Structure 1
Amino acid sequence: MPALDLAERAMTHPWLTTDPLGEALHFLRMSGTFYARSDLTAPWGLAIPALRDSMMFHVVTTGRCWIELPGTGAHLLQSGDLALVPHGQGHRLVSDPGAPVTDLFALPRVEVSDRYELLRHGGGGAATNLICAVVRFDHPAARQLLPLLPPVIRVEEWRSPQFEWIQSTLRLMAAEARELRPGGETVVTRLADILVIQTIRAWIEKDPAAQTGWLGALRDRQIGRALALVHRDPVRAWTVAALASEAAMSRSAFAARFTELVGEPAMQYVTRWRMHVALERLKEDDAPLADLAGRMGYQSEAAFSRAFKRVVGISPGAARQVADTR
């Protein structure tokens, strides 16, 4: 793949050199999405089991409820609020603290499609309507970002002026989920993508923990530029010297600052990012491994396979088999 110079890159992707954090969030794509619309009447309680390698979110479209996670206590969610559970941790949704709880999968549900269900449950009292989803982020950017997120992110300020358009998004999502018009599932999926990204952005803007580590490095003018270039063009034959030049730093100063901010040496980061990009490509097509090795910048399949197994933990062939069984 020919390497574009920095000016050409900036013309093609103008946010690249000015907003590396936005560039990283741009990569996030949801997959394996499953939705449920819940019509609930008090008293009610749902026990949501832990779901490995998944993220869950709940949007309250009408009424109110509480979300309870071990170690974080109970948190009130009102109409228009959203709660994101980034690590797939088991939790409970209840009409009020202390309400009786039933395992989610023990309740009868109406299957609208392979990925969309309707749930009705409760004792006939005050009504609460939820849109809930289980999603996955498989891109390398997600592998960097998700471990940094807290156990639960609650967004309760959609009502502020800068979030007015999010209110419209929530209303549209609620209408699509309620009316189930043709194509509604696709619309809800796209809207959910926006909501999850916006929730993560809201957390990044407010939480001091988001100012350090990988996220802090993306905000650094020089290291952030280098990271964005690696993310956009992972197969380029990067060296520490080349990255330092792009960052307008000396080789030694760049190497030290990169390790300090990111938490690992630059070339180790490049290799790890490249191998996770390769993992995504393995899932997307069935091209011979030798072809993929060449596209990832390796002269031989053996060298690529060694690097892949060192980073991912299994061979490329085994990774492809796992992807094929999903």
Structure 2
Amino acid sequence: MDCRCLRGHPGHVRDNPVAADPLGEALHFLHLVGRFYCRSELTAPWGMALHPMPDHLWFHVVTSGQCLLEVGQETMTLRTGELALVPHGEGHVLRSAAGVPAPRIDRLHHDYESDRYAILRHGGGGTPATLVCGAVRIEHPAARHLVDLLPRIVHLEPGEGLREDWMHSTLRLLAAEARELRPGGETVITRLSDLLVIQAIRTWIDNAPAAGTGWLGALRDPVVGRAITLIHQDPARPWTVAALADELAMSRSAFAARFTELVDEPAMRYVTRWRMYLAREWLREDGATVAALAARLGYQSEAAFSRAFKRVVGISPGAARRVAPAG
């Protein structure tokens, strides 16, 4: 991961206007990397189990018919035009009706149109259903932090979360493309799917009571939200409570109290924890050296960075690299 994506360089935050909409800034980082997309043509009885994919988000759009979605002990019915996200990479099951056998999806025959897009035809010849499903990885740490706050399932139904006309239009376009894969259809379906995932997260934030509390609630605050954005944009800057308060034209004590109240931790602890969050992601993604990480995150020495990392993460940077899952 290139640290330039954080849009800012030490000592130059004032040159880049702080986002007027910190929540929008967090959504800005929702760049999706598609790992697998599938158009499924199914006939009852049918079932399929999707294996766990840590650090990935699954989505399922029912373009015709209906199905059951089971995540752990939670079960819900998805109908035509409905969208569900399984945001935490958990294994889950889709099936036409309760109790129908559900073999692992990777053991079913797929016709691969490309290395990441497949067509699945499966079932017993009864009532049909079609789905567009996919697994995407969200790369940026700010976006992952947001996704970590989502519930086990995000379920959007027409007339509720999908109020915007363009969302209905997007679903109709997706259904039309899924009916018959035309030239360029794979690209259209993957792009539309990514838009739907981002809009589903945005809609949940707009409507869920839980989105008004904790970190997401703090992002909505005009002062604390701007402070969080400053930290995210320029994590290497030698932040202090006084420096953040100065950026926001507040007294040090008033800012410190407000930040702690809304985020539920002091500002400087958040700064350190955010830097270590970034460090873990960079260790995972690009195998950066400890020296490089220390420099990128504003530490004067490898030792100081390593001490902070172990204090926050619980293990050394080297140990974290060894246990990091393959991308």
Match of 1:69 in 2: 71
Letter in 2 for 1:201: R
1:224 and 1:160, CA in 2 relative to 1: closer, same or farther beyond 3 A?
closer
Alpha-carbon distance in 2 for matches of 1:81, 1:62: 10
After TM superposition, list the pairs within 5 Å mapping 1:5-20 onto structure 2: 6=14, 8-10=15-17, 16-20=18-22
Q: Which runs of 4+ in 1 moved over 6 A?
A: 158-161
1:210-242 Cα shifts (integer Å, max 9, x gaps): 110000000111111111111111111111111
**Identical aligned residues as a percent:** 61
Give the TM-score normalised by the residue count of structure 2: 0.85
Alpha-carbon distance in 2 for matches of 1:3, 1:189: 39
Give the TM-score normalised by the residue count of structure 1: 0.85
Alpha-carbon distance in 1 for matches of 2:189, 2:256: 44
1:158 and 1:31, CA in 2 relative to 1: closer, same or farther beyond 3 A?
farther
CA contact (8 A) 1:56 1:84 kept: yes
After TM superposition, list the pairs within 5 Å mapping 1:1-326 onto structure 2: 1-4=9-12, 6=14, 8-10=15-17, 16-31=18-33, 33-73=35-75, 75-157=76-158, 162-176=163-177, 179-180=180-181, 184-283=185-284, 285=286, 288-320=289-321, 325-326=326-327
CA contact (8 A) 1:157 1:163 kept: no
Q: Aligned with 1:21: secondary structure?
A: helix
Q: Give the superposed CA RMSD.
A: 2.8
Alpha-carbon distance in 1 for matches of 2:32, 2:320: 20
CA contact (8 A) 2:84 2:155 kept: yes
Letter in 2 for 1:82: L
**CA positional deviation for 1:204:** 1.0
1:173 and 1:186, CA in 2 relative to 1: closer, same or farther beyond 3 A?
same
Letter in 1 for 2:16: R
1:261 and 1:159, CA in 2 relative to 1: closer, same or farther beyond 3 A?
closer
Letter in 2 for 1:236: R
1:203 and 1:252, CA in 2 relative to 1: closer, same or farther beyond 3 A?
same
5+ residue gaps in structure 1? 11-15
CA contact (8 A) 1:82 1:155 kept: yes
CA contact (8 A) 1:33 1:189 kept: no
Letter in 2 for 1:4: H
CA contact (8 A) 1:159 1:167 kept: no
1:64-113 Cα shifts (integer Å, max 9, x gaps): 2222333333x222222100111223332222344443332332222333
**CA positional deviation for 1:182:** 6.0
Alpha-carbon distance in 1 for matches of 2:292, 2:21: 33
Q: Aligned with 2:164: secondary structure?
A: helix
1:255-304 Cα shifts (integer Å, max 9, x gaps): 22212211221111111212222344445556654244223211122222
1:115 and 1:317, CA in 2 relative to 1: closer, same or farther beyond 3 A?
farther
Letter in 1 for 2:24: G
1:176-215 Cα shifts (integer Å, max 9, x gaps): 5555556654444433332211111111111111110000
